[in-house]
Amino acid sequence: MNEDPLEFVDPETTQDEILIATYRALSKYGYAELTISKIGDEFDKSPSLIYHHYEDKEALIFDCLEFMLEHFEASLVETTIEDPNEALINFLEVGMCLGPDEPDQLIRTLTQLRARASHNDFYEHFSRSDRVFQDHLEMIISEGIEEGKFQDCDPEQVATMLFTTLTGILYRRTTSDIEGGIAPLRTELTHYLESRLGINSEVEIDSNKGFYTK
């Protein structure tokens, strides 16, 4: 998620502008280092407006995540899957930071908030967010089967497995040193995709193309 997913968003209200500024500040500094003053630096209007809209950092971050998820969901409506194979690999690589780049501060923040999700509002957010991503994966797989490009399988089941493994990769990458790095995981994911969908997943990825891009 190294591209800016909100690059093409046209903010409709001051609140939208605040949330976009929050996203940018979060990506730079992460949760612990985030301050209203740093958000103010990313914001074209007076920082005092932020205090007018939000009581604390947590409420601001919560709305920021919801805003991003809604934007992602809306962008899916406009998405046409031209090549399911490419769409799948693109999702795995770009969407879940499977590439060589280190997960950024935003991803670290998501890990931290998620870990606290068992006892607050974020539980609902992450349950819904998981469903959105997983449903998108399921749609790509169904499309691939329909077009005869993937072998038959249970798309929901395979999407659940893929999404869970990717979540595990991201979680481990942000919280520990994975012995042997990410290479063995890519190889095993390739094996799984071959055995389950009958595809060769060693597709060229345009790393400038994220699933947020129009």
Decide if residue 139 touches a copy of itself (CB under 8 A). Answer: no
- Distance of alpha carbon 131 from alpha carbon 139, whole angstroms: 12
The least distance separating a copy of itself from the CB of residue 97, rounded to whole angstroms, comes to 14
Q: Is residue 76 within 8 Å of residue 134, measured between CB atoms? A: no
The least distance separating a copy of itself from the CB of residue 194, rounded to whole angstroms, comes to 9
Task: Tell me which stretch binds a copy of itself (CB under 8 A): 21-29, 42-50, 73-81, 107-115.
Answer: 107-115
| Among positions 10, 12, 13, 32, the unique one binding a copy of itself when judged by CB under 8 A | 32
Reference 22, options 54, 52, 3, 2; nearest CA is: 54
- Binding mask of the shown chain, residues 167 to 186, with x at each position contacting a copy of itself by CB under 8 A: xxx-xx-xxxxxxx---xx-
Task: Tell me which stretch binds a copy of itself (CB under 8 A): 69-77, 80-88, 104-112, 198-206.
Answer: 104-112
- Distance of alpha carbon 113 from alpha carbon 37, whole angstroms: 21
Residue 168 makes CB contacts below 8 A (sequence gap 6+) with none
Burial (CB count <10 Å: 0-12, 13-18, 19+), residue 82: exposed
> Footprint of a copy of itself on this chain (CB under 8 A)?
32, 108, 111-112, 114-119, 122-123, 126-127, 129-131, 134, 154, 156-158, 160-161, 164-169, 171-172, 174-180, 184-185, 187-189, 191-192, 195-196
